[in-house]
Amino acid sequence: MRNKNRDLLNVLHTFDEFNTIIYTIMAVELLTVETFKEKVFNYETSQEWKYNGTNPCVIDFYADWCGPCKMVAPIIEQLKTEYDGKVEFYKIDTEDQVELASIFGIRSIPSILFVPVDGQPQMAAGALPKDSFKQIIKEVLNVEKV
């Protein structure tokens, strides 16, 4: 009986490690000032907006303490899976990345920045429902669901 319990614990431990690995792979990437300048737009070298990515992106400006942000987080994660390979999804912690929040004039959270490959980004404020995200992705980013 002891060996069976030990085996079960080993399986559960392995399963937890597997889930952690999968979550890390699938998790929405947190942007810092440096990664934002690399992946989205380097505002220090250019005055005119020019997106650096090859796929359009959605950036969620949030804070850990924000209730509506917590409601949007699982929607963002679902959309990341649904639009895999067509749209990039990022998050910016406004408490940690104050410079980025300031540059975009973030006054309320969640604020969602939709960035097309060509053209100007558009900001939406508030906890949008999933259908609204899909509509904006279709209309602003010109991307249909995979």
Which is it for the CA torsion 48, 100, 55, 72, positive or negative?
Answer: negative
Question: Is residue 69 flagged as an active site residue?
Answer: yes
Residue 101 structure tokens: 């929040």
Is residue 100 within a helix (H) or strand (E), and if so which, with residue range? helix 98-103
Choose the catalytic residue: 40, 57, 58, 69: 69
Choose the catalytic residue: 57, 66, 92, 115: 66
65/51 Cα distance (integer angstroms): 30
Distance (Å) of CA 8 to CA 19, 20, 21, 41, 100: 16, 18, 20, 49, 47
Tokens 């085996």 sit at which residue?
Answer: 7
Partners of residue 136 on adjacent β-strands:
none
Residues labelled catalytic: 66, 69
